[in-house]
Structure 1
Amino acid sequence: MQLTGPLSINLGRSGGSNRYVNDTRSSAKGRGNTRVKAKEKTGKGKTSKKAAREAAPKVKQAEPRTARTNAGDEECVSVGGRLLRRWTLLTLAGLALVSVGLWQLYSWTTNSQYFAVKEVVVQGEMRLDAAYVAELAGIQEGGNSLAVNMQAVEARLAADPWIEKVTVTRELPDRFHINIVERMPSYWVSHDDQLWYADRFGSRIGPVNSENFTPYPVLMVEEGGEALKSVLADLQNMARNRELPFNLEQAAWVRLSAGSGVEVHFENKNLTLSLDPADLAGSAAGVEAVLGDLEDRGEGGRVRAVHVVRDRVYVSLDQEMDG
C-alpha cells in the first residue's frame, strides 16, 4: 500500500528507512524553501518601505526656539537697562545743573542793587499821613523788592483801625504803590470815659485827640437802641444826598432809643427832631412840612421838638415866648 502526501513511505524492506529519511528531508527542504521565499517576500516589502522613505523629500525638523528667544530677551533687557541707567544719570545731572542755575539766579536777584527799593508811593490818605502809612507797611528803602511779602504788608496795613481797604502793588524793579481807603468818621462815641471817632455804622475807629480833632455829633445808644444802629448808615446817606430838612453835621447829638426812635438835637436852636426808624424818608418829609408851615406863620423860632410817629406829627413849642 502506498500513501501520497507530504511524506511518501515505502513498506519494502530494502532502504525503507533511508527513503523515509530522504523524503522527510525533501519535505523539510521544501518547507525550508517555502520559508525562504516567504522571507524573500517579506524582505522585499521591507525594502520597498525603506526605499519609499528614502525617496520621500526629507523635512528638516525645526529647532526649538525657546533657548534662542530667552537669549534674545536677555539681550534686550540688558540693552534696555543700560539705556535706562544712562537716561536716569542724564536726568539727575540735568536737574542738578538746573538747581545750581536757579540757586545762582536767586542769589543774584536777592543781592543785586538793581532790585533795591527806591520809592514807596501812598495814595488815598486823608486823615493819615503818607509817611506813617509807608512806615506801617514795613517796606524798607534799599531793601530787596523781590523779598517783600505782599500779603504781610497788606495785613499790617489792614490792621490799622483807620484803614478800611488796602491794595499793594509791586512795580519792578524798585517801586511799590499803596492805595488805601480810610474809614471816615461820622460820630463821636463815649468809651472808657473817652471820646472816640465812630464810622457811619457807629463802630469805633480811634480815640479823639488834639492832633486829629474834628467835631462830630455825639452818638448815644440807650436801652433798646442797639437794634436801631442799622439805620445810622441810611441817615448818613440821606444827609449826603440832602434828603433831610437839616444839616446833620451841625447836630450836637444823635440818640437811639426804643421809645423815641432816632432823635437828632441841634444845640444852637435848642431843637430836637424825632424820626420814625421804620420810615426815615417819610418822617423827614413830615418834619420838613411842619417846620415850613411854622416858619410861614412866624412861629419857627418857638419850636423845641418835632416828634413823628407813623403818619402823625407832634410839635412842642416854647411857652415862654407866648405874648
Structure 2
Amino acid sequence: MAFGRNKNRRRQDAAQRNEAVKGAVRSKGPGVMKVLALTLATGLLVWGGVELRRWALQSPRFELAAVSFSGLQRASRVELLRLAALTKGQNLWALDVGALERTMLQHPWVKKVEVSRRFPNRVSVAVTEHVPEALAVLGELYVLDEEGEPFKRVTPGDGLDLPLVTGVDREGYVADPDQARQRFQAALEVARAYTKEAVAGKPERLSEVRMEGRDVTLVAASGQEVRLGEGDSEVKLQRLARVRRELGARGLAAEIIHLDNRARPGWVAVKISSPVSERNGSAKQ
C-alpha cells in the first residue's frame, strides 16, 4: 500500500510541474517572443547597415566629381587640393572631413577652413584667410595679420607693401608671445587710425610704426618722423593733420613732428627740413 501511495504522489508532483511549466509559458511566452523578435530585427538592421555601407563605399554615384572653393585670395585651389590629396573619383562617404581641414590649415595663408560634403558627388570648401596688415622683424621678416599674429615668413612672391612694426624682437616674442601680440595690436591700431586720417587728408604713406616702450613713433615714406608718445593716438593724429596742412600752406616740410609732450599734451613742436644748401649746418626749428 505504501508503494502505491508513493507512486500516486509522484504522479501528482509531475502533474504539478507540468502545470507550472504551462503557466510559465503562458505568462512569459509573449515577452520571450518579443525579445526574440527584437533580437532578430536588430540583427537584420545591423546586416542591412553593413550591406548599405558596402554599397555606398563602392557605388560610382558617390565618386567625387567637383570641388568648389570660396574665400580664396592668396591661397590657390591647386595648393589646397594638393595639401589635402583631394582628387576626383574619391568616395564621398570615405572622406575624413576633419583630416581634410587639418591638412588645408597647413597652408600659411589659411586661418580657418570648413569642408562640407555635398551629396551625391561634390565637396565645398569655405576658406578664411589671414588679412596682412603689417610686417615685423622676428629674426626674419614676418607678416602680421589683423590680430597681431605673425603667421608667415615673407617670401619674394608675396608682393606686400605694408608698414613695418619695430620694437618687438624675436627673443621678446618667444619669451612672452601674448605680450608681444598685444604690442603688435597696439601698433596696428595706430596704423589703422593713421590710414583713416589718410583717407580724408591724403598724408604721406606710412612706412614704419616704431614701438619704444610705451611711446609710439610713426615714420612716413619720406622719412618724416611723427613722435606720438603715449596716450590718445586718434586725437594726436587729428592734430597732426592740422599741422601738416599748415606746413603745406606755408610751403614747408617737417623732418620731425613732436606730439609727445607729456607736460603739455596740446603742444606741438616741429623740426623743419633743411634746404640742401643748409644740410651741413644747423637745422631750423
TM > 0.5 between the two? yes
Give unmatched runs, 5+ long, in structure 1. 1-68
Number of residue-to-residue matches in the alignment? 250
Q: Could you tell me how far 1:293 is from its partner in structure 2? A: 1.2
- The reply on whether 1:287 has 2:240 as its aligned counterpart is yes
Q: 2:258 aligns with which of 307, 313, 322?
A: 307
Q: Give the fraction of aligned pairs with identical amino acids, expressed as a percent.
A: 18
C-alpha offsets along residues 20-66 of structure 1, whole Å, 9 cap, x if unaligned? xxxxxxxxxxxxxxxxxxxxxxxxxxxxxxxxxxxxxxxxxxxxxxx
Please tell me whether Structure 1 or Structure 2 has the larger radius of gyration of its CA atoms: 1
- The reply on whether 1:76 has 2:34 as its aligned counterpart is no
- The reply on whether 1:204 has 2:150 as its aligned counterpart is yes
| RMSD value, Cα | 3.0
Contact kept in structure 2, 1:200 and 1:236, CA below 8 Å: no
- The reply on whether 1:263 has 2:214 as its aligned counterpart is no
Which residue number corresponds to residue 187 of structure 2?
232
Aligned residue identity for 1:197: V
Which residue number corresponds to residue 24 of structure 1?
none
Q: Could you tell me how far 1:210 is from its partner in structure 2? A: 2.1
SS of the counterpart of 1:82?
Answer: helix
Contact kept in structure 2, 1:276 and 1:283, CA below 8 Å: no
CA 1:202–1:221 in structure 2 vs 1: closer, same or farther (change >3 Å)? Answer: farther
- The reply on whether 1:272 has 2:219 as its aligned counterpart is no
Aligned residue identity for 2:30: L
Contact kept in structure 1, 2:163 and 2:209, CA below 8 Å: yes
Q: Could you tell me how far 1:116 is from its partner in structure 2? A: 0.4
Q: Could you tell me how far 1:72 is from its partner in structure 2? A: 7.1
Aligned residue identity for 1:282: V
Contact kept in structure 2, 1:185 and 1:205, CA below 8 Å: no
Aligned residue identity for 1:219: V
C-alpha offsets along residues 270-313 of structure 1, whole Å, 9 cap, x if unaligned? 311122442111010111111111111222x2x10112123222
Contact kept in structure 2, 1:196 and 1:206, CA below 8 Å: yes
Q: 1:92 aligns with which of 14, 19, 39?
A: 39
CA distance in 1, matches of 2:195, 2:102: 31
Contact kept in structure 1, 2:255 and 2:272, CA below 8 Å: yes
- The reply on whether 1:135 has 2:77 as its aligned counterpart is no
CA distance in 2, matches of 1:237, 1:253: 13
SS of the counterpart of 1:252?
Answer: strand
Aligned residue identity for 1:235: V
Q: Could you tell me how far 1:164 is from its partner in structure 2? A: 1.9
Contact kept in structure 2, 1:251 and 1:266, CA below 8 Å: yes
Which residue number corresponds to residue 12 of structure 2?
none
CA distance in 2, matches of 1:292, 1:147: 65
- The reply on whether 1:102 has 2:49 as its aligned counterpart is yes
Aligned residue identity for 1:182: E
Contact kept in structure 2, 1:115 and 1:144, CA below 8 Å: yes
Which residue number corresponds to residue 91 of structure 2?
144
Q: Could you tell me how far 1:217 is from its partner in structure 2? A: 1.9
TM-score between the two structures when normalised by the length of structure 1: 0.68
C-alpha offsets along residues 83-117 of structure 1, whole Å, 9 cap, x if unaligned? 33333222222211111111111100011110001
Q: Could you tell me how far 1:207 is from its partner in structure 2? A: 1.7
Give unmatched runs, 5+ long, in structure 2. 1-15, 173-178
